Structure 1
Amino acid sequence: MVQPITYIAHFDLDSFFYSVEVLNNPELAGKAVIVGGSRERGVVTTCSYEARKFGVHSAMPMKKAVELCPHAILVRGSHGQYGKFSKWVTDIIASKAPKFQKASIDEFYLDLTGMDKFFNPFQWTIELRQLIMDETRLPISFGLASNKLVAKIATDEAKPNGYLFIQHGKEKDFLAPLPVKKIPGVGTHTLSVLNEMGIELIGDILRLPKNELENRLGKWGLELWDKAQGLHHSTVSEWREAKSISTENTFETNTNDVEFLLSELIRMTERVAFELRQDEKLAGCIAVKIRYPNFETTSKQTTIDYTFRDDEFIPVAKDLFHQLYKKGTPVRLLGVRLSDFANITMQGNLFDDVSRKSNLYKAIDNIKLKYGKNYLAKGRSIK
């Protein structure tokens, strides 16, 4: 039986948070704008393309971003608006696409396989993009290809506010001239190793024996070789209500500074706990993930009494970290995940000292919603 040609579209809202800020304040259009924390604290959430010209990028420390682009306009962010616009785009896609996956607040994968029997998938995707822009006034780019990997890279190449179709059989031709860092997962460490091997472009990977990459990078080397050929087998998962809330941070430089790692762990735990409360949920399970420079990844989870409180999540997260961490070993990535949700009305330890603590968290969350998630933070999370 002949397998149908696969069509996977990747949609990505361009500089999403900045674009929403422009809708709220049109005077920001065309200017160097950085959305994030203050000049001294926090990280860049997103920025305008005018700021990117100076080297600013998401996840960069705000202090460094301001040094690179001192004339930039700093915006803390209208966090409630981001969820509203994300849901708006999600609803439009859900009303049109036969199967889609919401990968993040501003990123979507659509499986259009089989649609070519009825109409042109490329033209259909162009029309869906136009519908989203007409209704929301947000710029959005897409890539259309035979799999999620190539579609995502095509979207990056189409930005800002464009689209690109990589036809079947042309994947290697498209990827070969691109810098190797365009492959998702190629971070600072991997890029350094590849450059030492004389690899700068994706096409350079295919000139090396597959086992040479495996010798230098292990299983990741084998995966990288497949990706360089445009091979990728991850499928589009049907979008459902989130079963977990998580956040991860891949550090610009691998670090074994335990005090720094713990401060990041606290910051991330505060973040997921805040999101949990906004969803009006309690969590009964918390997990911590650590990834080392060789891509060895370990995680550990434990059940807890249902809660939404930072001060109850943080000690457990720190204990899981100490159980997992190999002392003295640099860390590449740190992550925290909450799961096993229950409605916030469920009784439990949540309502011990309910009036004082619950009112405190309500006050904290109101401040964060007004001024941004990073406006208030525990002292231990500031390094």
Structure 2
Amino acid sequence: MHIDMDAFFASVEQLDNAALRGRPVVVGGGKRGVVAAASYEARRYGIRSAMPSGQARRLCPHAVFVKGRMHRYKEISAQVMQVLHEFSPLVEQASVDEAYLDATGSARLFGPPEEMARRIRAAVREAVSLTCSVGVAPVKFLAKIASDVNKPDGLFVLQPDEVAGFLAVLPVGDIPGVGRHFAGQLQALGVRTAGDVLRYPETFWQRRFGKGGLGLFARAQGIDPRVVEPYTQAKSESAENTFEEDTDDRELLKTWLLKQAERVGRNQRRMGLSGRTVTLKVKFADFRTVTRSRTLAAPTSSTRVIYDTAAALLDEMGLPQKVRLIGVGLSHYAEGPQQLALPLCSPAAVRDEKSEQLEKTMDAVRDRFGSAAIVRGRLFGFGKD
């Protein structure tokens, strides 16, 4: 099964603010950003995620633009995942608003797959007052496609004996992994449906597109060997912001880096993760993007260490023009428990340990009293959500 929350970000905003219900709501955007999500009322005007906000405003001038609240979306997402775990121990969260669930062997408890899917939708609605759509199919990629068939608040079951007929007419662009460029190449070959893929032999696809061609040929036959993986460790964590106006003010850029380092560090500490590589991302006014990375001697989840490293990378970088976006990321995660530094190691090690303990204390205060309960002086009143 593939469970997909309906217009999740926008639906959460409408849930929390009754004045937004029934209105076209766009999450994200700002003056120069892109749309993160759009309510179904906004989608009727052609607004889609990743669309430039200026285009969205032209399509629907009376749309309500709201700033995203990722902490709130993650909070509700956790509640949804908890519901799904009540139906199966094999739940793989694919993103903040979607998950795969292996329903094998669950018929005795919850009935056949269609009945189980109905019960899941009802349980999610009861838990978070939001709707989801469920796709049921023999393999993962087909389940994902199926969840989109009857959106919103929909259910579609693809039986094994229906797969061949379903794929025969399925637009090839609907297959996960077939992007716009790949779809264009397929169109040039006269391949418009998954069924058309089978007009050519496997050797043709391998010779023409390599590994991607082999994957396409397999999926055109309904083959997907992937299983539901209950847990996959994150490979990185990052935060970035697009400015309303381009800037070359280094102190302003560093203040944004501090705010982003706090977000990244806190999420890492919450998940018990630490990374060794800090990456700075800068997008200039002409949309050219530059990244710089530094690998540390030891893994960290410290906001201070992440910030200091990113700020040093910025100091070393020339700014040939004004900056449109800046971001910081942490990757190269440590495996297994880490040995704590002893006070005898060095004064710097002692300061790091004290700093990390202070950050954990700040996390605890914020968890109990809210994110605004304690604020670093440099960030007081800055970039409020």
Normalising by structure 2, report the TM-score. Answer: 0.70
Paired residue for 1:31?
23
Correspondence list, 1:221-232, <5 A = 221-232=213-224
Paired with 2:78 and 2:97, the residues of 1 have a C-alpha distance of 10
Paired residue for 1:69?
60
Paired residue for 2:174?
182
Q: Is the 8 A contact 2:88 2:103 kept in 1?
A: yes
Paired with 2:164 and 2:329, the residues of 1 have a C-alpha distance of 36
Paired with 1:223 and 1:101, the residues of 2 have a C-alpha distance of 21
1:94 to 2:85 alignment: yes
**3-state secondary structure, aligned to 1:158:** coil
Q: Decide whether aligned partners of structure 1 residues 27 and 353 sit closer, same or farther in structure 2, where only a CA change above 3 A counts.
A: closer
Return the offset for 1:313.
Answer: 5.0
Deviations along 1:175-200, whole A, 9 cap, x unmatched?
32222111111112211211111122
Q: Select 1:276's aligned residue among 232, 245, 265.
A: 265
**3-state secondary structure, aligned to 2:228:** coil
Q: Which structure 1 segments of 5+ residues have no match?
A: 1-8, 250-266, 289-299, 319-334, 372-383
Q: Select 2:303's aligned residue among 298, 305, 308.
A: 308
Paired residue for 1:134?
126
**3-state secondary structure, aligned to 2:99:** strand
1:45 to 2:45 alignment: no
Return the offset for 1:216.
Answer: 2.7
**3-state secondary structure, aligned to 1:141:** strand
**3-state secondary structure, aligned to 1:35:** strand
Correspondence list, 1:364-383, <5 A = 364=379, 370-371=384-385
Q: Decide whether aligned partners of structure 1 residues 173 and 365 sit closer, same or farther in structure 2, where only a CA change above 3 A counts.
A: farther
Paired with 2:261 and 2:171, the residues of 1 have a C-alpha distance of 34
Paired with 1:304 and 1:361, the residues of 2 have a C-alpha distance of 26
Return the offset for 1:243.
Answer: 4.8
Correspondence list, 1:301-340, <5 A = 302-305=295-298, 306=300, 307-309=302-304, 310-312=306-308, 314=310, 338=331, 339-340=333-334
Paired with 1:155 and 1:244, the residues of 2 have a C-alpha distance of 27
Q: Decide whether aligned partners of structure 1 residues 273 and 199 sit closer, same or farther in structure 2, where only a CA change above 3 A counts.
A: farther
Q: Is the 8 A contact 2:239 2:264 kept in 1?
A: no
Correspondence list, 1:98-109, <5 A = 98-109=89-100
Return the offset for 1:41.
Answer: 2.5
**3-state secondary structure, aligned to 2:148:** helix
Q: What is the one-letter code of the residue matched to 1:14?
A: D
Q: Is the 8 A contact 2:278 2:310 kept in 1?
A: no
Aligned residues: 320
**3-state secondary structure, aligned to 1:285:** strand
Paired residue for 1:56?
47
Deviations along 1:236-275, whole A, 9 cap, x unmatched?
11237x55444699xxxxxxxxxxxxxxxxx999868624
**3-state secondary structure, aligned to 1:125:** helix
**3-state secondary structure, aligned to 2:160:** coil
Paired residue for 2:6?
14
Q: Is the 8 A contact 1:148 1:235 kept in 2?
A: yes
Paired with 1:218 and 1:285, the residues of 2 have a C-alpha distance of 34
Q: Decide whether aligned partners of structure 1 residues 129 and 269 sit closer, same or farther in structure 2, where only a CA change above 3 A counts.
A: farther
Return the offset for 1:16.
Answer: 0.7
Paired residue for 1:297?
none
Paired residue for 1:321?
none
Normalising by structure 1, report the TM-score. Answer: 0.70
Return the offset for 1:100.
Answer: 0.9
**3-state secondary structure, aligned to 1:185:** coil
- The answer to which structure, 1 or 2, has the higher relative contact order (CA under 8 A, 6+ apart) is 1
Q: Is the 8 A contact 1:245 1:275 kept in 2?
A: no
| Percent identity between the two aligned chains | 33
Q: Decide whether aligned partners of structure 1 residues 144 and 354 sit closer, same or farther in structure 2, where only a CA change above 3 A counts.
A: closer
1:194 to 2:190 alignment: no
**Which shows bigger deviation, 89-98 or 219-228?**
89-98
Q: Is the 8 A contact 1:247 1:268 kept in 2?
A: no
Paired with 1:183 and 1:220, the residues of 2 have a C-alpha distance of 12
Paired with 2:70 and 2:156, the residues of 1 have a C-alpha distance of 30
Paired with 1:205 and 1:361, the residues of 2 have a C-alpha distance of 57
Q: Decide whether aligned partners of structure 1 residues 107 and 337 sit closer, same or farther in structure 2, where only a CA change above 3 A counts.
A: farther
Return the offset for 1:12.
Answer: 0.8
1:163 to 2:158 alignment: no
Q: What is the one-letter code of the residue matched to 1:80?
A: H
Q: Is the 8 A contact 1:285 1:340 kept in 2?
A: yes
Paired residue for 1:148?
140
**3-state secondary structure, aligned to 1:157:** coil
Q: What is the one-letter code of the residue matched to 1:50?
A: E
1:121 to 2:113 alignment: yes
Paired residue for 2:252?
none
**3-state secondary structure, aligned to 2:2:** strand
Q: Which structure 2 segments of 5+ residues have no match?
A: 241-255, 280-292, 315-327, 342-349, 363-373
Q: Is the 8 A contact 1:47 1:57 kept in 2?
A: yes
